[in-house]
Homo-oligomer: A and B are copies of this chain.
Amino acid sequence: MGNSESSNDGKSGSSKGRIYNFSAGPAMLPVDVLEQAQKDMLNWNGSGMGVMEMSHRGKEFVSIAKAAEADLRTLLKIPENYKVLFMQGGATTQFAAIPFNLTTPEDTIDFVETGAWSTKAIKEAKKYCKVNVAATSKAENFTHIPEESNWTLTPGGKLVHICYNETIGGVEFKDIPRCADDVTLVADMSSDFLSKPVDVSKFGMIYAGAQKNVGPAGVTIVIIREDLIGKARADCPAMFDYKLAADNDSMYNTPPCYGIYICGLVFKKLLSIGGLEKVEEYNLKKCALIYDAIDGSEGFYKAPVAKNCRSCMNIPFTMASKELETEFFAEAAKRNMVQLAGHKSVGGIRVSVYNAMPMEGAEAIAQLMQELLARSKQ
């Protein structure tokens, strides 16, 4: 968070020459987390081993995993009746694991479809249970979140799935749906996990791939209320089974140890700067710089998403022509700002400003946007 890039010391392997990487994920990590990982690489804490080399059953790695879980619990104020699982395979694996664990083939999951990732979750769930698309903004190109009062939830239904932040479309829930009081709400938070405080107690389950705000790709975090665990189908793959994962402290087989270690370093970092309230404050400032540049451009930059659900993490916008966008990318590259192309399915420009993007990066892109606008008026 806001690691100044100015502490370069000219060493090989140092932070010298770092760029602003606006990738939608995997994405920037805090410089001091990377420096700690660098320092620990051959010898963690005097153990004589790097973290990648440790037995997952040894006291060293067990202490790393326990600290990571404890710090995550503190950060998100996770209630005691929730389990924290470190799994593999990304959100896409959870799209199948959720029906295997939480439904029978006759049960229905109500989905709110707000973008490409909800669509993928729906497609996968259809293999295993009934699916009701309770609401969709597909006809409007996923540019808003359907009003909750218009959701057609299954009568007597129990499971509602939402994607809290759509990485591709840039649509983010700003409030927890009211139905959380009556149903088991399951949320894919892959791309805004730990970017702001969230009341975990309102959810049956939250899951997130790590590779946006938390750590490297290859770790998936699942936070699930205990009463939902232990009802997996008989043919649930062992590696999908939340009970097996919970009963074995996420070590039914060898977990992605190094990724968990990096996540743990990030958790400590977020705690050290004051927790998720501070993180959110910082993130809101960053995204405001960019949205202000869009809104003040008199249409030179166009953001498609309704203002009440604009993502604070992924900011898609377009310009009047391909040529202007190409010029934008070229000018950005000259200033060491990369990974700004919109997802291939939507085109345009996408600025992703996850936790580890420093304020200076958001300022630099906003500055570029203003300069290109000014240039267009000359």
Residues of chain B within 8 A of A23, CB atoms compared = 53-55, 58
Q: Do A52 and B262 have beta carbons less than 8 Å apart?
A: yes
Looking across the interface, which residue of chain B has its beta carbon closest to that of A258?
Answer: B216
Contact A38–B35 (Cβ < 8 Å): no
Contacts of A216 in B (CB 8 A): 52, 256-258
Asked if B21 and A41 make an inter-chain contact with CB atoms under 8 angstroms apart, the answer reads: no
Q: Are B257 and A58 in contact (CB under 8 A)?
A: no
Q: Which residues of B contact A205 (CB under 8 A)?
A: none
Question: Are the CB atoms of B217 and A255 closer together than 8 Å?
Answer: yes
Say if the beta carbon of A274 comes within 8 Å of chain B: no
Q: Most chain-B Cβ atoms within 10 A of its Cβ — which of A27, A53, A209, A238?
A: A53
Q: Which residues of B lie under 8 Å from residue A28 when comparing CB positions? A: 49, 53
Give Cα distance in the complex from A211 to B46, angstroms.
22
Complex Cα distance, B344 from A55, in Å, reads: 14
Task: Pick from A9-17, A72-80, A154-162, A370-378 the stretch touching chain B.
Answer: A9-17
Of A85-93, A142-150, A222-230, A287-295, the one contacting chain B is A85-93
Contacts A89-B89, A253-B92; A21 near B49 (Cβ below 8 A): yes
Instruction: Tell me if B127 and A257 are in contact (CB < 8 A).
Output: no
Interface of A is mostly: loop
Copies in the complex: 2
Q: Which B residues are in CB contact (< 8 Å) with A48?
A: 17-19, 21, 336, 338
Contact A239 B89 (CB under 8 A): yes
Q: List 28 A-B contacts (CB under 8 A).
A: A13-B39, A14-B42, A15-B42, A18-B42, A18-B49, A19-B47, A21-B54, A23-B53, A23-B54, A25-B254, A26-B53, A34-B50, A38-B42, A56-B217, A88-B88, A88-B89, A93-B237, A127-B237, A128-B235, A209-B253, A211-B254, A217-B255, A217-B256, A217-B258, A218-B218, A218-B256, A218-B259, A258-B258
- Residues of chain A touching chain B, judged by Cβ–Cβ distance below 8 Å, are 12-19, 21, 23-29, 31, 34-35, 37-43, 46-50, 52-56, 58, 88-93, 95-96, 124, 127-128, 209, 211, 215-219, 234-235, 237-240, 252-259, 262, 336, 338-339
